Chains A and B, each alone.
Chain A
Amino acid sequence: MEGNLFDLEGRVVVVTGASSGLGAQFARRLAGEGARVVLAARRRDRIEALAEELPDALAVECDVTSEDDCARLTQAALDRYGAIDVLVNNAGVSKPARVEDETVADFRQVVEVNLVATYSLSRRIGTLMAERGQGSIVNIASVVGMVGLGRMPQASYAASKAGVVNLTRELAAQWARSGVRVNAIAPGFFPSEMTEGLFGDPKGEAWVAKLTPMGRGGRDGELDGALLYLASDASSYVTGVVLPVDGGWTAV
């Protein structure tokens, strides 16, 4: 392992949910490291604007819950770049509600985006990676997939992210000999559209600070190191891992 351990120069990386928050940040950072980034999300104007900013990026409008869209996304990436080296399953939704008020339809919808779409895209793109004998899949799980919260009630989200956690391990085990590594990052709370309500409210922020051993939420860019590590050859012997980036939340 010589040179830049975290080298991603020229690698083709598909990032879902790249229209805002963590996904947009990931796309910028990956591009900054020399990767060629395929941006996927429903809000086309946003990903197109972001693609303009980056040296070599492709925006593909995509609802990850649509099999047709995912097929188009994959094909567009292959047409443009020939192969996919890294898949970042980042698209996600949350619908906080106490279980008494949460409908089964809401629950299904969250599981559909966070878990089923992660499975489906991993299956589609991971199979191509396995045929090529190389690839890295990084799933964005959550601390909420590892522990219960209560204060921010959302059974659908917690269940879907817990599903992502063990999906990661199982796919890692199935593909370990095919050169495809599958890992997850479990973020604590980071500012994004999803957490606007939380960080916008002093009580919410105080709650995060209180429950986090490091006494604060995550900052922009503090997931980049974990992403670059898991996406690059720096982690060539790491697979099936769920890496918390949570200031110690899940160590308690």
Chain B
Amino acid sequence: MTETARPVAIVSGAARGIGASVVERLVAAGWSVVGIDLDTAESAAAWVEGDVTREDTWQRARDLAADLGALRVVVNNAGAQGAGARIADTEVEDFGRVMDVNVRSAFLGTRLALRHAEPGGAVVNVASNAGLRGIPRFGPYAAAKHAVIGLTRTAALEGARQQVRVNAVAPGPTDTRIMQAVARAFDADSPETAMSRMTRANPMGRFAQVDEVSAAITWLAGPDSAYVNGCVLSVDGGLTAA
């Protein structure tokens, strides 16, 4: 594959966790990837060190992508779960921050794709099982991920005729720093106890590994899912089926 023939993807939250695993898979499959994160890593062809809630971050990513070739895929993966407090104890500013990092960012990335991705392109939004059910202490996060799913479904309808598909992946608990933070929010004294409680509560009795989540994301990003549009694919060991 020549440099210019490589399909181009923008992946947000690409420095670690699920996003880093997506970048690894795409690069191995011959894609040119523009990574966005607050921190820089070496893995992608180009990198934007920036905040995904800001429009200029996406503008920079778009410019870098244009230098690499035709934009085909945007993976809106950057997200954060917030502090972990009951709604009654949550400040509106904290609510706003969680909405911004999860929803505003996904809006900006999705809009960029609907404006600029080539036909045959795809958007994959990383939602969460918290986008399909309530999670006490994570009200803003659940609200935000439900919103990401609404955005996904609507964008799927609007993108369909220009042949840009839009789907979401809803990971269950995944072995990244997010789950460590969640465990601390549930039980500050003994996060290990919270962790093992969550592990036991999962039908498959374990968390996902990042490469199990990124496999679903790259599948939805590529041609093997050509007729899949507007779907929310759970990768959660059966959590939301039970």
Contacts and interface: CB of A to CB of B under 8 A. Distances in A.
Contact of B160 (A176, A213, A218, A236): A213
A237 B205 CA distance: 10
Of B226, B229, B235, most buried by chain A (CB within 10 Å of CB) is B229
A219 B227 contact: yes
Contacts of A239: 203-204, 237-238, 241
Given A236-B212, A251-B153, A176 B237 contact: yes
A219 B227 CA distance: 8
B208 A237 contact: yes
A169 B240 CA distance: 9
Given A177-B204, A234-B215, A251 B230 contact: yes
B224 A246 contact: no
B171 to A, nearest CB: 9
Given A238-B234, A240-B238, A225 B209 contact: no
A226 B156 contact: no
A228 interface: yes
Given A229-B219, A234-B219, A235-B216, A169 B160 contact: no
Contact of A247 (B227, B238, B242): B227
B198 interface: no
A218 B219 contact: no
Contacts of B229: 213-214, 246-248, 251
Contacts of A172: 203, 238, 241-242
A237 B227 contact: no
Interface of A: 1, 5, 168-169, 172-173, 176-177, 188, 212-215, 218-219, 222-226, 228-229, 234-241, 243-248, 250-252
Interface of B: 152-153, 156-157, 160-161, 163, 165, 172, 202-205, 208-209, 211-213, 215-216, 219, 223-231, 233-238, 240-242
